[in-house]
Amino acid sequence: MKQYGLLQYGFLPLGLLALSSSISFSSHAAVVINEIDYDQPGTDTAEFIELYNSGSSSMSLDAFSVELINGTNSLSYRTIDLSGFEISADGYFVMCSDASLVANCDYSFTTSSSWFQNGAPDAIALFESDSMIDSLSYEGSLLLFTEGDAFLPGDNATDITSIGRIIDGLDSNNNALDFQLSCITPGSANIGGMGDCSETGISAVPVPAAAWLFGTGLIGLIGVARRK
Ligand SMILES: [Ca+2]
Ligand SMILES: [Ca+2]
Ligand SMILES: [Ca+2]
Ligand SMILES: [Ca+2]
């Protein structure tokens, strides 16, 4: 059982310290949660989760699983076991229900629609064995699952918007900085920005990489390194 499974017994505020110490974190994972789409008009039939591998070699996903976390009690309401799958170098892995409704779906793991809760908030966590290697809470903060600052905007229930990492795979472990509302791109490079994601012509305005780097402080770090 994952150490996260301890959450299944619930927790009290005084127990949080002990609980959080039971979950191990890694901040340098090559595979991360890259894009999610949990809301579409009417019944949610085209939900998906996209992972991205920023590594230079393909990786087995045998030890990987995705946990979907219910914001009302911080418990997992669904586990997606990725045993037997692989993600290619600089590649994507997409989970969905009906593969005819989600482009590039690699794993149609359920026949259910509306398997992905709409907030607010809820969360998604990626595990490698017992280690939580990446997590994202959406539409608010959720203890243990929000990295840094909370991502507040909601996937706005059109069929062409999602929540995507601003630059594929780039992870500062701050949800508010790392993600933004995006045009859906399952299995392909994310398109960040709040432009017009009309189905006939996606025209979102990407955030310039320099602006993102400035926001994460990486430019400052680069500057410090160069002055040494
Ligand atoms: Ca949903
Ligand atoms: Ca959506
Ligand atoms: Ca992260
Ligand atoms: Ca994408």
CA of 34 to the centre of ligand 4 (A): 7
Higher pLDDT, 7 or 49: 49
pLDDT higher than 90, residue 11: no
CA of 138 to the centre of ligand 1 (A): 12
Q: Whose atoms come closest to the Cα of 135: which ligand?
A: 3
Higher pLDDT, 111 or 17: 111
CA of 13 to the centre of ligand 4 (A): 37
pLDDT of residue 32: 98
Domains in the chain (CATH in brackets) are 3-227 (2.60.40.1260)
pLDDT tens digits, one per residue of 136-161? 999 999 999 999 999 998 887 666 89
pLDDT higher than 70, residue 48: yes
How much is the mean pLDDT over the chain? 82
Q: Quick one: tokens of 59? A: 């990786």
Kindly state the percentage of the chain with pLDDT values over 90.
64
pLDDT of residue 197: 74
CB atoms within 10 A of CB 102: 23
Average pLDDT over residues 31-60: 95
CA of 42 to the centre of ligand 3 (A): 31
CA of 25 to the centre of ligand 3 (A): 9
Q: How far apart are CA 172 and CA 163, in angstroms?
A: 16
pLDDT of residue 15: 36
Band of residue 192 on the pLDDT scale cut at 50, 70, 90:
confident
CB 74 within 8 A of CB 19: no
Out of 78-87, 188-197, 207-216, which region has the weakest mean confidence (pLDDT)?
Answer: 207-216
CA of 31 to the centre of ligand 3 (A): 10
Average pLDDT over residues 29-53: 94
Band of residue 85 on the pLDDT scale cut at 50, 70, 90:
very high
Query: What is the pTM (predicted TM-score) of this model?
Result: 0.80
Higher pLDDT, 13 or 167: 167
Higher pLDDT, 3 or 95: 95
